[in-house]
Amino acid sequence: MERIVEPERQIVFRVPWVDDKGEIHVNRGFRIEFNSALGPYKGGLRFHPSVNFGVIKFLGFEQIFKNSLTDLPIGGAKGGADFDPKGKSDKEIMLFCQSFMTELYRHLGENTDVPAGDIGVGSREIGYLFGQYKRITNKFEAGVITGKGLRYGGSSVRTEATGYGLVFFVDEMLKTINETFEGKTCVVSGSGNVAIYTVEKIHQLGGKVIAVSDSDGYIYDKEGIDLDLLKQLKEVERRRIKDYIPYHKQAIYKPNGNIWEIPCDIALPCATQNELDENDAESLVKNGVIAIAEGANMPCTPAAIRVFEKAKVLFGPGKAANGGGVATSALEMEQNAGKTRWDFEYTENKLKKIMQGIFRRCSQAAIEYGFPNNYIVGAN
């Protein structure tokens, strides 16, 4: 216990950068290399104004156990900066990423520490970070960062992995009560990487997602979220979720609305930590929810989790349910090491097997320790 709660290394550094008006800004960068018992440090980078040591530390701690649950050879880490990417130009993002990597690169390596994306860090940012690493070290060391573009060492299915993996995990939970996604109504919070691909896989499996959100509010579309439009707005144009409304007259936008008030069969929090509290849990249970799983890291408060446990609804904890992202990152490292590339179908199949394995380990451990169907105990 004493050894596992103490990070092996904690790094904090200055990130100076210049905006489009020529003004200088200074942000703070972090990397916590928490545990390397099982392999090189592995975990994402988060760019969000709320980032501080506490946030990176809890995420890094969770990451150790999540990575271990995948059964792949990866240690646990997390990093990021208190930088707000919202409203920044491409050039500003590039300059920030280059400055960030100018400090961080000395701590990284394909056998040392391998970051990836998280909130505010997608394939654009990974591209800028990798480019700067390559420039400084004069090495095309693809395995040093994951979530890369497909043309320069990225893995197919990495973009989709966390969302798809979450849905595969929930599908396994549903099987235990002889249910499937077919015909189920789902609510997914957030509208970033995890949320979008959660929606995509649910729709492929015959479920219907009726609401998604961002930090300004949520949209409710009783006909089911239009996924192509969602991708266009969020991934291509980087707009707000309210911009969905002009395209679909039947949809409703609720600024600052609480998405968990919407009745649904399956609720999947995919935005951020502590986004679903005790009251939200009670209203979900009252409205007949049958399953909840955490796409985000620790989105449900401990009090909310107690409500779900008491109501005996299925609950998938993040460290198990959202492990598909990091697992596919490990598959990306494996492809980079072998200088090879797998196709979409093969990689998705691997991801599915990994998620089934995570579920099986949680389920069996829960039984072994006398808490059948308690996937939190099982995962821990």
Token pair of 62 as six digits: 């969770």
Closest contact distance (angstroms) between CB of 171 and ligand NDP is 18
**Which DSSP category does 89 fall into?**
-
Alpha-carbon separation of residue 329 from 191, 323, 324 (angstroms)? 21, 10, 9
DSSP 8-class letter at 43: E
With a CB cutoff of 8 Å and minimum separation 6, the contacts of 93 are 85, 124, 125, 128
- What is the closest distance, in whole angstroms, from the C-beta atom of residue 146 to ligand NDP in the complex? 9
Query: Residue 166 or residue 179: which is nearer to ligand NDP going by CB?
Result: 166
User: What minimum distance in Å lies between the beta carbon of 178 and ligand NDP?
Assistant: 29
User: Phi and psi dihedrals of 160, rounded to 5?
Assistant: -85, -15
Give me the catalytic one of 42, 66, 78, 201: 78
Question: What are the DSSP E strand ranges found in the chain?
Answer: 9-18, 24-35, 41-47, 76-81, 113-116, 185-188, 208-214, 217-220, 252-255, 266-268, 291-293, 314-316
Cβ distance to ligand NDP smaller for residue 156 or 297: 297
Tokens of 313: 């609804």
Nearer to ligand NDP, 40 or 44 (CB): 44
Rg (CA), the chain: 20
CB of 288 to ligand NDP, least distance (A): 25
Output the smallest distance, CB 339 to ligand NDP, in A. Answer: 24
For ligand NDP, give the closer residue by CB, 117 or 127.
117
Q: Sheet containing 9-18: give its strands across.
A: 9-18, 24-35, 76-81, 41-47, 113-116
Q: How far apart are alpha carbons 320 and 138 in whole angstroms?
A: 37
Residue placing its CB nearer to ligand NDP in the complex, 156 or 272: 272
CA 232 to each of CA 123, 146, 190: distance values in angstroms, whole numbers, following the listed order: 16, 24, 15
Q: How far is the CB of 166 from ligand NDP (least distance, A)?
A: 9
Residues in the chain: 380
Residue 78 appears among annotated catalytic residues: yes
SS3 64: helix
Binding site for ligand NDP (CB under 6 A): 117-120, 162, 190-195, 214-216, 270-272, 295-297, 322, 325
**Considering Cα of 174, then 368, then 163, then 288, what sign does the dihedral take?**
positive
Helices and strands per DSSP (H, E), number in the chain:
13, 12
Nearer to ligand NDP, 98 or 273 (CB): 273
Q: Which is nearer to ligand NDP, 114 or 179 (CB)?
A: 114
With beta carbons less than 8 A apart as the criterion, state whether 261 and 267 touch.
no
State in angstroms the smallest separation of the CB of 323 from ligand NDP: 7
Residue number with the smallest Cβ distance to ligand NDP? 192
Residues annotated catalytic, as ranges: 78
